[in-house]
Amino acid sequence: MLSARHLANVSKASSKALVAGSRRSAVRVIRNVGGARALTTTNAQTDRDTITRLLYSIGTKREVERYLRIFSSSSHPSQPAKFAVIKVGGAVLDELDELALSLSFLYRVGLYPVVLHGAGPQLNSIIEAAGVVPDYSDGIRITDAKTLQIARRVFLEENLKLVAALEKLGCRARPITSGVFTADYLDQEKYGLVGKITKIDKRPIEASIRAGALPILTSLAESDGGQILNVNADIAAGELAKELEPLKIVFLNEKGGLFHGVTGEKLDVINLDEEYDGLMKESWVKYGTKLKLREIKDLLDHLPRSSSVAIISASSLQKELFTDSGAGTLIRRGYKLFKHASIEAVGADRLRQVIHDRDPDVLSGQVSVAGVLNELKKTPCTIYGDEALDVVGIVSHPPGEVPVLTKLLASRNGVLNSVVDNVFAAIKRDHRRLFWTARTDDAASSGAAVYGSPAATTLGAASSNDAASPGRAEWHFERADGSFTRAGRSLFWYGIQNIDDVEDCIKDLEKKGRIERSYLPVGPSAPPHRATPATNPTGQRAFSTLARRLNMGTTRGYATAASVPSTEPKRLALIGARGFTGRTLTGLLSSHPHLSLSHVSSRQLAGYPLENYTKDKVVYSNLSVEDVNKMEKTGEVDAWVMALPNGAAKPFVDAIDAGAKDRTDGGSVVVDLSADYRFEQGWTYGLPELYGRQQVRASKRVSNPGCYATSAQLLLGPLVKHGLVAPGIVPTVFGMSGYSGAGTVAGATDPDGRPTTVAKVPPESLAGGVRPYALTDHIHEREAGTHLSSLLAPGSIPMKVAFVPSVAPWFSGILSVLSAPLTRKVTAAEIRALYEDMYKDESLIHILKGVPELKDVEGKQGWSVGGFQVHSERDRAVVVGGLDNLLKGAATQCLQNLNLALGYDEFAGIPLDQ
């Protein structure tokens, strides 16, 4: 949880300019997370980024970003008050600093709750001090003229205190003490000047938010005749919520939730549709608790199912709103689950509409709704879901066969309210083992996990509801005992621990057409893994009201078949091993524990022994395109590396593609070292430290990045990811490479008649200096800009990079200097921290104290970065990075990609101590 001290430090640091002159800061409309528009100050994006990063300490990045998208997309300039209504109890006002920090936190991420406060304890203190005993009837304060006079003064004072505390933190707030609630007398004879709300004018609230200020309301109302009336703050908050229909209604109290009257345990979740009647009969639910539950049920019955009520403490507001586990007591209408054995029992028209709206294969035109329904009728199945059909799961289970989850279609509400997890739990209760499949590209990128026909399934609406996505690829891995990924598709299962049994099941499923492609033989996979807090392994709310239970989705690490990287011996063919890079790669392969070099092709060296490979005796051959096609058809090798000049690899790759069509295992892995496929659809760009490992693990075609481009992208990555590179302004990278980077040409034969190669740019030709070349339009400009653009927010201007290379008189090693204009003022220490955070777990990246020199990169396996500087005007950063162009710039990175694609440990054969 974010502490008050942390929030205070952030608020003070990020709002210093606002405190000095907040009224001078311009208010403007900006694009919010998820594409929604919100009103905020010119400093808001800086604040938002800082607070968002802090949020990651209370939950996973996935959770935080999902809830930010959901909440931000709930508001629109025409109806800006749909995020949340927060009712602040009088006792909470005594913790003013904590309350102000929590509300300021929301303001700084672009969220504008409507805040309404009471002042009961403060009012009682003043009344008692005046010698008046507070009088109540049916829990309602009897209000005479003197009590109302005191109440008005107390409400105004407490309102202004909260507004002042917020503005002290740089958060704009507007006191609204009248003009919102219109009321009639509740019962003038019995209760005096107490009102029953009859009308709400939301215009003052919406005007405040449009002006970029939090609306702070009191629970005083006015009659049509102008008489001020006292209104219970809980009731006022409920009536306000009915009018605004927000996603969240939050009641802040000092206890932080509702508690079981017998066990004393805090109630995590109350699903009213399932549990209300039973709770109201419990002996410990009485008086105030019973009244509160009744009022909340009445409130939620009037609101969309996506709305919920949270009862929490002020200090837990962030955790409640931005994590799946929450902090206080969440009360929602809930979802009564069903399971039926036929389409008719669910309702054919209702199910047809769900499939039409959410099934990705239907939306993409691959299948029709009628086709999906006809498939369901052919095989015994059970349909699971909730009464609102916010989630529908279908399990196919012919007698005596392993069950397959063929569909799991969730709406935004189904994800937001964790219905998808409850439906999956119901499925797991009925089926002790289960298989399902997912496209890893969709699961990892769009956030919607898509399953292919006939096992076609999706999580989250498959159209534009990325904000509702339940956890991307991690959702599946967390619920599986095992998984296997091949060619962009993953197979998941639970309930089977023996890998031989898994293969037997898969054979049977493939034979009977219940899964659509070959997953045999089963090999390793590596899901995108993340740690979860030890106190709640799932990060999900328990389904039970009365006790917190661990969900079935406990994080399981890397799945049964993938828990240990593969050690299976495999064979590699290298096409074009004559140059510097080919020689370097063969040297590394000599130390690889599992991968053996079986074929090395070079037209000039055919018949000569390969000299720098020590594991086995290998002789150069001259493989033709026909030879390569035949080898691929017969599976003679497991992987190919193309170490050919630009433009020369295509005939060989085409031959491999043609040969792979006759194989049932998807064919061999291909890694290309040239620039030919770095922009090609269907190829994975293999820079693991920046773009992740999972796509490489799932790919059969990997394009190895260029040496200069690798260093340039690693230099720019942290700045681009955190929005520090000014859109439309081109950063510059100046690079100097050893002469080996210029390649080789044929040389004279050696005394044995063996052809040799020599450097295309001999060092003596440089006369001890450097030679700039390709001063504009170098291919690495396009390469770096294209792939870095994937780190930008959707809709951003594509990235451009200016790159100027030079060749230097040393053999190998690149030093690159980045000069990047910034979007906001930062310090050098802040820049360094971004790199340390982004690359802290990377074995081949080294962050240096000083400026990297040639000795730090030449002959080293990884990339080094340092020399973090910011211009005196703090608007331009300079960072220096370096690598060996033959190692991390080529051969080492190639071996990383081979290892990942073949299921080995990523660093097998790579000496990490160099």
Measured at the CA of 834, the angle between CA 833 and CA 835, to 5 degrees, comes to 90
374: which residues sit within 8 A by CB, 6+ positions away?
none
Report pLDDT for 487: 60
Helices 120-129 and 145-168: crossing angle in degrees, nearest 10, is 130
pTM over 0.75: no
Q: Which CATH number fits domain 76-332: 3.40.50.460, 3.40.50.300, 1.10.420.10, 3.40.1160.10?
A: 3.40.1160.10
pLDDT of res. 202:
93
Name the phi and psi angles at 265, rounded to 5: -75, 145
Establish whether 707 is a catalytic residue: yes
CATH code matching the domain that covers 570-703, chosen among 3.20.19.10, 3.40.50.720, 3.90.1150.10, 3.60.9.10? 3.40.50.720
Q: In a 10 Å sphere around its CB, with 0-12 CB exposed, 13-18 middle and 19+ buried, how is residue 22 labelled?
A: middle
Average pLDDT across each block of 10 residues of the chain; the chain has 914 residues. List them in order. Answer: 43 36 28 34 53 64 75 78 90 87 88 92 81 73 89 92 93 93 93 94 94 94 93 91 90 86 81 83 77 87 84 87 82 82 89 89 84 87 89 91 91 76 86 82 34 34 31 70 75 84 86 73 47 38 33 28 66 86 90 93 86 87 94 94 90 94 85 92 93 90 94 95 86 91 68 70 82 84 90 84 91 94 90 92 92 93 94 91 94 95 92 77
DSSP 8-state assignment for residue 359: -
Strand pairing report for 329-332 and 269-271 = parallel
Listed residue (69, 63, 65) closest to 539, CA to CA: 63
Q: Which pairs from 358-362 meet CB under 8 Å and 24+ separation?
A: 358/409, 358/410, 358/411, 358/458, 358/461, 358/462, 358/463, 359/407, 359/409, 359/456, 359/458, 359/462, 360/442, 360/448, 360/450, 360/456, 360/458, 360/462, 361/452, 361/453, 361/456
CA–CA distance, 47 with 212 (Å, rounded to integer): 14
Which residues on adjacent β-strands are paired with residue 394? Answer: 383, 407
Single-letter amino acid code for the residue at 776? T
Q: What is the largest CA-CA distance in the chain?
A: 118
User: How far is it, in rounded angstroms, from Cα 195 to Cα 604?
Assistant: 97
Please tell me the distance from the alpha carbon of residue 269 to that of residue 14, in angstroms, as a whole number: 35
Q: Which two tokens stand for residue 220?
A: 């005083």
Q: State how far the Cα of 510 lies from the Cα of 517, in Å rounded to an integer.
A: 7
**Phi, psi of 515, rounded to the nearest 5 degrees:** -125, 150
pLDDT at 416: 67
Residue 406 near residue 455, CB atoms below 8 Å: yes
What is the reported pLDDT for 7?
A: 42
What pLDDT does 451 receive?
A: 31
Which residues on neighbouring strands pair with residue 309, listed in sequence order? 249, 331
The number of residues making up the chain comes to 914
Work out the burial of residue 550: count CB atoms within 10 Å of its CB; fewer than 13 is exposed, 13-18 middle, 19 or more buried. exposed
Contacts of 238 (CB under 8 A, 6+ apart): 249, 295, 296, 298, 299
What are the sequence ranges of the domains in the chain?
Answer: 76-332, 337-443+473-519, 570-703, 707-887
CA nearest to 553, candidates 457, 414, 425, 671: 425
How many angstroms separate the CA atoms of 54 and 685, rounded?
31
DSSP secondary structure letter of residue 541? -
Burial letters 186-217, b for 16+ CB under 10 A, else e: beeeebbbbbbbeebebeebbebbbebbbbbb
Phi-psi region of 743 (alpha: psi -120 to 50; beta: other; left: phi over 0): left
- Where does 337-443+473-519 sit in CATH, by number? 3.40.630.30
In angstroms, the CA 322 to CA 395 distance is 32
Per-residue tokens: 332: 């929602």
* Residue 466, both tokens: 């990325």
Instruction: Identify which of 837, 795, 798, 685 has the alpha carbon closest to the alpha carbon of residue 61.
Output: 837
Record the tokens describing residue 381, joined without a space: 């199945």
Torsion, Cα of 261, 264, 269, 270 (10° steps): -10
Which residue of the set 171, 381, 505, 707 is catalytic?
A: 707
CA 804 to chain centre: 35
CB atoms near residue 93 (< 10 Å): 22
Give DSSP secondary structure letters for 849-896. Answer: SS---HHHHTT-SSEEEEEEEE-TTSSEEEEEEEE-TTIIIIIHHHHH
Cα 740 from chain centroid (whole Å): 40
- d(CA 842, CA 298) in angstroms, rounded, equals 53
Q: Which two tokens stand for residue 111?
A: 């969220």
Nearest CA-CA partner of 841 in 534, 537, 529, 562: 529
According to CATH, what is the number of the domain 707-887?
3.30.360.10
Summarize the chain as % helix, strand, coil (round to 5): 35, 20, 40
Phi, psi of 737 (to 5 degrees): -120, 150
Structure tokens at 690: 């920046």
Q: Residue 753's CB: how many other CB atoms inside 10 A?
A: 7
Domain 337-443+473-519 and domain 707-887 have a common topology: no
Which residue type does 425 have? Answer: A
Angle subtended at Cα 571 by Cα 570 and Cα 575, rounded to the nearest 5 degrees = 150
End-to-end CA, the chain: 40
At residue 23, the pLDDT reads 27
Rg (CA), the chain: 32
Torsion of CA 378, 379, 384, 389, to 10 degrees: -20
**No. of helices (H) and no. of strands (E), the chain:** 33, 41
CA 646, CA 196: separation in Å to the nearest integer? 79
Q: Within a 13 Å sphere around the CA of 322, how many CA atoms are in the beta-carbon half? A: 28
753 CB-near residues (< 8 Å, 6+ apart) = none
- Render 658-691 in DSSP notation, one character per residue: HHHTT-SS---EEEE-SSTTTT-TT-EE--HHHH
Tokens representing 403 are 């069950």
